[in-house]
Amino acid sequence: MQGVRLVIARCSVDYIGRLRAHLPLATRLLMVKADGSVLIHSDGGSYKPLNWMSPPATLRVTAPDQADALLGVAETWNVQHTKSDDRLVISIYEHLHESSHDLGVDPGLVKDGVEADLQRLLAEQITLLGEGFSLIRREYMTAIGPVDILARDSRGATVAIELKRRGDIDGVEQLTRYLELLNRDPLMSPVRGVFAAQQIKPQARVLAQDRGIDCLTLDYDAMRGVDDVDSRLF
């Protein structure tokens, strides 16, 4: 099968899998995609459906059992995830609308301004950290994960930089773990830390200060302005 199928129906829904969830009888939009995934939307909420089944899955439509038939169920949709025990059971009481549409393959979303872009720009403009700074490398791998940026300051000391769009307490914990590890290496030690983000929350700033970590607030628009115009995505 190909394309997306749209159904408006009065239905109730039960999900059994990582947890259990139930939707009482109401009119909803059911979206069935080609990969067997199903989304159940109401009029409202955000982009997250009320309930759903992730792909890959298979939809099997059956007649309701006698008990359900007596309650007014017209047909039962069994949506079974292909790789797990996750299951969605949709009881259709009334079919109000139905249509199918072939959309074709989507070229996909192009993003600009995510953490990776910020990292690229800061690596290019490493002297934002201070005069005489030089880049050692981005995504410096360690046993417990990658350090966003490793640099050298004007006196030759190593600096580990943790980069966030929004600087939260978790980011400080993350950088702390990296610093602990890096400072165990006598060839690397002493390594100091810089917590750089577009916005740093007060509590994160306090925790960073408490641990001797410097904070740096970044202006993405200004950094992008410095960047070569040709390298922009659009």
The residues binding a copy of itself (CB under 8 A) are 2-4, 6, 8, 18-24, 26-29, 31, 33-35, 37, 39, 41-44, 46-52, 54-55, 96-97, 99, 101-114, 170, 173, 233-234
Which H or E element spans position 87? strand 87-101
Q: Does 179 bind DNA (CB under 7 A)?
A: no
| Burial label, 196 (beta-carbon count in 10 A; 0-12, 13-18, 19+) | buried
DSSP character string of 12-78: EEEEESSSEEEEEEEEEEEEE-TTS-EEEE-SSS-SS-SEEEPSSEEEEEEPPPHHHHHHT--EEEE
| Residue 2 CB contacts under 8 Å (≥ 6 apart), including other chains | 34, 102
Q: Are strands 51-53 and 57-62 parallel, antiparallel or unpaired?
A: unpaired
Q: Which amino acid is present at 224?
A: R
C-alpha 104: how far from chain center: 25
Q: CB under 5 to 8 A by kind: which of DNA, a copy of itself, none does 155 bind?
A: none
| Count, residues near DNA per rule CB under 7 A | 42
Q: Does 77 bind DNA (CB under 7 A)?
A: no
- Looking at the Cβ atoms of 157 and 226, the one nearer to a copy of itself is 226
Neighbours of 92 (CB within 10 A): 20
Q: CB under 5 to 8 A by kind: which of a copy of itself, DNA, none does 137 bind?
A: none
- Looking at the Cβ atoms of 115 and 153, the one nearer to a copy of itself is 115
Q: Which of 205, 210, 208 is nearest to 193 (CA)?
A: 208
- Looking at the Cβ atoms of 94 and 112, the one nearer to DNA is 112
Q: Does 169 bind DNA (CB under 7 A)?
A: yes
Interaction mask 113-152, DNA, x per CB under 7 A = -xxx----------------------x-x--xxx-x----
- Looking at the Cβ atoms of 70 and 105, the one nearer to DNA is 105
| Cis peptide preceding 55, ω within 30 of 0 | no
Interaction site with DNA (CB under 7 A): 15, 17-19, 21, 45-48, 51-54, 81, 83, 86, 88, 109, 111, 114-116, 139, 141, 144-146, 148, 162-166, 168-171, 174, 177, 201-203
